Structure 1
């Protein structure tokens, strides 16, 4: 299919190849956002999911760079990467995070050039953060994913980056996502680390849902693992 838009030819619906190398128990989908290729007003988006089995550690998605909807020609402007990690056996034991790719028509200071051959690679790391929830203090986990620089140093920014539209068709962008080896507290002033693991601060008492450590770093309270076990230290449960 071919069409022309305001002096700019969109010869064929071209695609960007996206790959994601994922840790175990992670999956990813993409939400692609489009703007009109001319002065028309016809923005839109679509969710693109992998048809590969859940648990596949190399996900591949084909992201259309152009599309035509009801006579309106649109071009890809950005991609939101929806990352889902499973931390427990229950369906609700999941953490969600996002990354992003943006398509630029002009270079900027942060625009990444493609290498002469091979994919353009972005690095990221996901960190599980644990906390207690509710009056029985059940352990739950929060997922936080951030970009890594070329030296493997965690950045404050989300994973992804920007790239030039010119020459993008048919190229491959790859996200290599790793998982931090050690879990950390979601709230730093709730836990104190000992050789046997993390202990939950007592705070003002067992009924203190906040349970901050400040003012009391000697008394600790039990909590429950997701499977119902009563524990005193995380993640080993008992000392």
Structure 2
């Protein structure tokens, strides 16, 4: 025997009305909060890196047109920043992170103005044996005249070596520059201009390599011999390498692992 519900009953009618009101209010709340629930548009930054290198990013955001952003001091601020660090390398030699095109983290609506990359390379066994270089991308509001295609930038880092401190330990500094169409290092830094109208859901890629040859950080402070580079002792009497004199005189130095050496990188002649 089937039981039929009489919705004309007073108590049932109240329950039905309350249920309908709850559903309607919930739907209205979803509609009203639709903008806040929509995630900002992003693009993916991807970097192919050599061994012992990694790349992180800092996005610089400025107030959107018509917006006034107030900092903690109560004064308008011009730039807010978000930092991007890959949680885990995508592969052994590839890292990537998402970059939002807009940001509301600073209490106002702001838009991406530029992206700075920190290129970090490790050159020794300890955590302190790391050095950094940078690359920069600006965001243009001009309409791009080119079809939307994956944007690929190529760059190369070259290790420059020098000595530091009273024991003349070797340290290395990466010099990273853009590559031209022939694969040669240019004088300009890695980076370029990105068009905002092409960035949403796209991928910007950096292909980074490292030069096979290392060179002295200071020109004319080292002399290259058949056995390797030798640091000069000059007329200033300083602890580190000095401008070479004639005839050249040389100093010993230490490798990052503590070895006493006379030539770099072979250590002994």
TM-score of the superposed pair, with normalisation by structure 1 = 0.86
Contact kept in structure 2, 1:201 and 1:217, CA below 8 Å: no
**Partner of residue 53 from structure 2, selected from 8, 11, 26:** 26
- Provide the rounded CA distance (Å) in 2 between the counterparts of 1:186 and 1:22: 23
Q: Which of 28, 31, 38 does residue 65 from structure 2 map onto?
A: 38
Task: Note if contact 1:105-1:164 (Cα within 8 Å) is conserved in structure 2.
Answer: yes
Displacement of 1:47 in angstroms is 0.4
> How many residue pairs are counted as aligned between the two chains?
226
CA distance in 2, matches of 1:229, 1:70: 50
Q: Structure 1 residues 210, 230: CA separation in 2 closer, same or farther (over 3 Å shift)?
A: closer
Q: Greater strand share, 1 or 2? A: 1
CA distance in 2, matches of 1:41, 1:94: 40
User: Any unmatched runs of 5+ in structure 1?
Assistant: 4-10
Q: 2:113 aligns with which of 59, 69, 77?
A: 77
Unaligned runs of 5+ residues in structure 2 are 1-33, 70-78
Is contact 1:19–1:173 with CA below 8 Å preserved after alignment?
A: yes
Give the structure with higher Rg (CA).
2
- Equivalent of 1:178, from 198, 206, 209? 209
The reply to whether residue 236 of structure 1 matches residue 266 of structure 2 is yes
Say if 1:70 and 1:123 are closer, same or farther in 2 by CA, change over 3 A: closer
TM-superposed CA distance for 1:36, in Å, is: 1.4
Going from structure 1 to structure 2, the CA distance change for 1:86 and 1:17 (only over 3 Å counts) comes to same
CA distance in 2, matches of 1:200, 1:17: 44
Instruction: Compute the TM-score of the two structures, normalised by the length of structure 2.
Output: 0.77
Shift of 1:218: 2.9
1:115-146 deviation per Cα after TM superposition (whole angstroms, max 9, x unaligned): 654x2100111111100111221111111111
Structure with the bigger percentage of helix: 2
Residue 205 of structure 1 and its aligned partner are, at CA, apart by 7.5
